[in-house]
A and B are shown apart, each in its own frame.
Chain A
């Protein structure tokens, strides 16, 4: 059967090809479709071929056979379904049984088809479409309608023998494309947001629920709001989606983004547009400068600040000489800054101090909020009185020889910041001091804090800390605080590499250092000793008692003595001497002791712009 069918088909195809040349289109009769509208009856339709006229004028028959039959039977009804059709009524229809129909002319079989009735269900179109207006929008431009229809009359939906799905399509009258809704079981559908000023066309079709093919479309329902007498507003053409505006704004946004990206690459413009948030720091001092080691700039900045001279003392703030008696030559090898300062290695101090002193401005040191330190050092023990002498110093070692010593001397400076300042002597020192203030930020802020903290105790302070270093190379000492602060300071200061031999301390700091170290029992080493040994005096003590070891005084409550704050060490007077520059006072111009080579703060300030 299979082979015969195949041969038959091939024969048909060949015949078509061979005969097509003679005739325009020679077609064999074919069964076009078989459908059942309601799962109770079915019909088959076929097409006549042109061959009909050529062959013997027989009649085409449609034969059918059910699965259980043995023989082919002829179509019971050729009329009801129209021409070239065969209608099977309910008595001839068995639903779930396979059928085969074939189109034949006597012995010549034209076409054959097998199917089952439940698979060929194509319902009739729904009927009685109508619509009602649900509501209109407030503007009267849009409205909602509800479309209802009845199921096809042939389908027995009521008894549930067949379940139908409906699909509604609608469009505006002058449109070409239909809009479709999802297939649904209900026979009423709301349509929302129709334009009241337009007319619509609606059509519905149905299918059996589980099948794929839809039946024919129903008649078209015309929806016209004007006919319904509904008040509506003729409005102008709707504004379509403003593509133009979207493009414009999108381009602008893109351009702005690109510009911002480009600008962000340029730091200057970036600074202009996004100004950096000010962080607490000393006015005019850029932490980066300190980090980078540009001591000259730092010094210049520090020196340019007149406001640093807040702590003015009426006392004569000429540089006082402090001679430090350093007996122990081993102090050279000590790690502490104090040692270094007091050691015989004056070179360190000189080099450290005046290496890069290009500026003339000198801020006084030892003021609470003055972060700068003025170090004036010279190799030849005498204070370098002027800038030139400062410049002579070529040795760039630290005044405090912080960098010379190991890092262990600066335990609190174990961070990279200290190392960054390695090349820069003064800045390094300045960095080394701030750890007193428990912060590792840039020197200036911490020192500032330190100084401010010490402000309250300035009257009774002694110097225990070099708070900053001026560009000129002078160490700015910050007055130490009592007890804890002082202890902290001294703890740091003892560990710092004081260039003891040639360094000047602010008296308060040094004194504090002594006091603290004396109090501390856990540092009985040389550093403390060096601290103690050094002669740290207040101005009064210096003037009165001269230079001498003031260990006792350091330990005694000479702290309570009101002393001015020395905030800068100018020059190493002698191997054991320190020339301290007190806080700048508005004293008249002092004699500039060129021989000693030291300059007071205000003098320096006057010298330098």
Chain B
């Protein structure tokens, strides 16, 4: 957990570096010539590695927070799909297996990732506000929640930049914007979140963070032409 937190501390810096590098990468070649020692050119693979590491940190943090909350508020286990446990992103269609993730187009996979991250931003902020009023929780959990929220923002920004780079490089098409409008968020986050307990909420997020991480890995594998994904 300390590793995750330490990694999380580097998160903003990594995201900023990521952004800066993406901007630089998108800049005209005259700005940064190859072989220039002061200018670091990152390939898409490197960018993906950074994004994947970031999502891994998010997953670790959420796992730790979920464990803490479940220790404090023991969840009713072995419950199947109770309304109280309905995740904010339950209505979203996401590939539920590796083969599905391999089959769908890369643009759609990218879009799914972005949609997932975007869907969690608002519930997480609500959750943070709710946690701050929660006097019983230790500061450790509160800080983790805040960090998760912040890192989700950063990850979304990073993935958007990676997407732009991929689109500029022609790896994926520019049809992403069309998909964004077709599918609305489709969930009333506020109502759902209010009904859920804290541990269930974070449990949902943990699962979705694992999804994001796996999708990113598959996406990276699929983008690299040499890999047999």
Query: Residues on A close to B: CB < 8 A?
Result: 2, 5, 39-40, 65, 67-68, 90, 93-98, 100, 112-114, 116, 118, 156, 158-161, 163, 209-210
Q: Please report the number of residue pairs spanning A and B whose Cβ atoms sit closer than 8 angstroms.
A: 66
- Judge whether B150 is part of the interface by a CB distance below 8 angstroms: no
Can you sample 21 A-B contacts with CB below 8 Å?
A: A90-B98, A94-B97, A95-B211, A96-B207, A98-B81, A100-B80, A112-B78, A114-B77, A118-B210, A156-B98, A158-B227, A159-B98, A159-B217, A159-B218, A159-B221, A160-B217, A160-B221, A161-B214, A161-B217, A163-B56, A210-B60
User: Which of chain B's residues have a CB closer than 8 A to the CB of A210?
Assistant: 56, 59-60, 63, 210
Q: Of B60, B78, B208, which contacts A114 at CB under 8 A?
A: B78
List 6 additional contacts besides A39-B98, A160-B214, A210-B56; criterion CB under 8 Å. Answer: A94-B96, A95-B97, A95-B214, A96-B208, A112-B78, A159-B217
When the two chains form their complex, are residues B218 and A161 in contact, meaning their CB atoms are under 8 A apart?
yes
Closest 3 pairs (CB-CB, A-B): A160-B217, A94-B96, A67-B81
- Judge whether B79 is part of the interface by a CB distance below 8 angstroms: yes
- Judge whether B220 is part of the interface by a CB distance below 8 angstroms: yes
A112 to B63, CA, bound (A): 25
- Judge whether B99 is part of the interface by a CB distance below 8 angstroms: yes
User: Which of chain B's residues have a CB closer than 8 A to the CB of A118?
Assistant: 207, 210
Within the complex, the shortest CB–CB distance from A111 to chain B, in Å, comes to 10
- Judge whether B104 is part of the interface by a CB distance below 8 angstroms: no
- Judge whether B180 is part of the interface by a CB distance below 8 angstroms: no
Q: Of A5, A39, A160, which contacts B220 at CB under 8 A?
A: A160
Interface of A is mostly: loop
A116 to B80, CA, bound (A): 10
A312 to B52, CA, bound (A): 103
Could you tell me how many residues of chain B have their Cβ less than 8 Å away from some Cβ of chain A? 27
Within the complex, the shortest CB–CB distance from B153 to chain A, in Å, comes to 21
Q: Of B80, B96, B97, B210, which contacts A65 at CB under 8 A?
A: B80
Which residues in chain B, 44-59, are within 8 Å of chain A measured between CB atoms?
52, 56, 59
When the two chains form their complex, are residues A116 and B207 in contact, meaning their CB atoms are under 8 A apart?
yes
User: Which of chain B's residues have a CB closer than 8 A to the CB of A94?
Assistant: 96-97
Given contacts A40-B97, A94-B97, contact A100 B78 (CB under 8 A): yes
User: Which of chain A's residues have a CB closer than 8 A to the CB of B52?
Assistant: 160
A95 to B211, CA, bound (A): 9
A2 to B79, CA, bound (A): 9
- Judge whether B229 is part of the interface by a CB distance below 8 angstroms: yes
Q: Mark B186-229, 1 if CB is under 8 A from A, else 0.
A: 00000000000000000000011011001001101100000101
Q: Which of B97, B208, B229 has the most CB of A within 10 A?
A: B97
Within the complex, the shortest CB–CB distance from A501 to chain B, in Å, comes to 89
Which residues in chain B, 64-88, are within 8 Å of chain A measured between CB atoms?
76-81
Within the complex, the shortest CB–CB distance from B56 to chain A, in Å, comes to 7
A236 to B77, CA, bound (A): 58
Residue of A nearest to B214 (CB): A161
When the two chains form their complex, are residues A90 and B218 in contact, meaning their CB atoms are under 8 A apart?
no
A65 to B80, CA, bound (A): 9
A100 to B79, CA, bound (A): 8
Within the complex, the shortest CB–CB distance from A3 to chain B, in Å, comes to 13
User: Which of chain A's residues have a CB closer than 8 A to the CB of B77?
Assistant: 114
A5 to B77, CA, bound (A): 12
Q: Of B79, B96, B98, B227, which contacts A161 at CB under 8 A?
A: B98
User: Which of chain A's residues have a CB closer than 8 A to the CB of B217?
Assistant: 159-161
When the two chains form their complex, are residues A96 and B96 in contact, meaning their CB atoms are under 8 A apart?
yes
Q: Of A5, A97, A100, A163, which contacts B96 at CB under 8 A?
A: A97
Within the complex, the shortest CB–CB distance from A2 to chain B, in Å, comes to 8
When the two chains form their complex, are residues A96 and B80 in contact, meaning their CB atoms are under 8 A apart?
no
User: Which of chain A's residues have a CB closer than 8 A to the CB of B220?
Assistant: 160
A161 to B98, CA, bound (A): 7
Q: Of A39, A90, A112, A159, which contacts B229 at CB under 8 A?
A: A159
